[in-house]
């Protein structure tokens, strides 16, 4: 659907019809998928992965304290809840990795066109899902 | 009165002045360097975690007795915590509007990352050098 071709005669300001394009109000603006992937995807998974680093720190320090502490930590990680959050961290990691690699391509000046971005949106999501499932199939 | 543009300086020359922050692209560049380093390092970590998941304490200890494994793990830890504090800083600076609160949050995030990084590295060294 092309919104640019349609004259915006339906909108009015007072009694005067507006034919100029209006920028969408923040409350009704639907973010493009690329923006969602950037904010909800890259940034949110980045914050989530910092929480994953807390779990990593717990795991490593427990090992330094000795076998009993390590066994306790592994009992938590091996529980259904531990595996559940580990699954979440693994998806967040692969998602952040894929969107991050796309950022590196953008830094190199590649893939800026709208069709390229729409295609890489799909690639990023598909690759993150597949890498996550692949990892858990190996485990 | 609008000051005259500095016609005799090239664009590069002006960029080299680094602006008011005096650090130019340092933050951006550090984030990219650690990002590139973390691609192989983090995939190595995932593979390690998968192979250590059922190896028990003895398996964990013998894995990091290998100096190559300990080295790669410490490289991962240094890169990931540096990357994390750079990323946290950007997010905090974007979403915390109050200047004092923003500064406190950024400093707290950086201190926390350094503390976590050092505890992780010390832990790996303790396991690597034990028995």
Over the stretch A28-50, which tens digit does the pLDDT of each residue have? Answer: 777 777 777 777 789 999 999 99
Measure CB to CB from residue B57 to each of A47, A70, A100 and give the nearest one: A70
Contact A63 B42 (CB under 8 A): no
- Tell me, yes or no, if A48 comes closer than 8 A to chain B by beta carbon: no
Domain range enclosing B81: 26-129
Q: What is the mean pLDDT of chain A?
A: 85
What is the tally of structural domains in chain A? 1
Nearest partner of A48 among A10, A95, A81, A11, judged by Cα: A95
Residue A2 is predicted with a pLDDT of: 46
Backbone dihedral angles phi then psi of residue A78, each to the nearest 5 degrees? -80, -10
Q: How far is B3 from chain A (nearest CA, A)?
A: 33
**B77: in domain:** yes
Partner residues linked to A13 by β-bridges: A16
**A18: in domain:** no
The CATH number of whichever domain residue B120 belongs to comes to 1.20.1300.10
**A88: in domain:** yes
Chain A positions touching B106 (Cβ under 8 A) are: none
**A1: in domain:** no
B52-87 pLDDT per residue, tens: 988 899 999 999 999 999 999 999 999 999 999 999
What is the tally of structural domains in chain B? 1
CB B44 within 8 A of CB B75: no
Backbone dihedral angles phi then psi of residue B26, each to the nearest 5 degrees? -55, -50
**B17: in domain:** no
């Amino acid at each position: 659907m092309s919104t640019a071709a349609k004259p915006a005669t339906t909108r009015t300001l007072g009694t005067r019809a507006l034919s100029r394009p209006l920028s969408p109000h923040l409350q009704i603006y639907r973010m493009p998928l690329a923006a969602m992937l950037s904010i909800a995807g890259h940034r949110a998974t980045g914050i989530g992965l910092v929480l994953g680093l807390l779990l990593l720190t717990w795991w490593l320090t427990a090992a330094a304290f000795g076998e009993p502490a390590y066994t306790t930590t592994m009992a938590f990680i091996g529980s259904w809840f531990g595996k559940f959050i580990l699954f979440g961290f693994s998806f967040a990691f692969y998602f952040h990795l894929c969107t991050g690699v796309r950022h590196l391509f953008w830094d190199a000046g590649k893939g800026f066109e709208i069709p390229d971005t729409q295609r890489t949106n799909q690639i990023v999501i598909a690759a993150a899902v597949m890498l996550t499932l692949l990892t858990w199939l190996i485990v | 009165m609008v000051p005259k543009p500095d016609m005799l300086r090239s664009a590069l020359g002006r960029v080299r002045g680094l602006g008011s922050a005096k650090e130019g692209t340092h933050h951006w560049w550090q984030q990219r360097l650690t990002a590139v380093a973390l691609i192989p390092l983090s995939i190595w970590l995932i593979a390690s975690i998968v192979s250590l998941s059922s190896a028990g304490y003895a398996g964990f200890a013998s894995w990091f007795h290998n100096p190559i494994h300990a080295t790669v793990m410490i490289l991962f830890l240094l890169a990931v915590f540096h990357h994390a504090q750079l990323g946290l800083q950007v997010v905090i600076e974007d979403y915390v509007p109050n200047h004092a609160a923003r500064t406190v949050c950024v400093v707290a995030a950086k201190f926390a990352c350094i503390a976590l990084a050092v505890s992780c590295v010390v832990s790996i060294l303790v396991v690597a050098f034990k028995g």
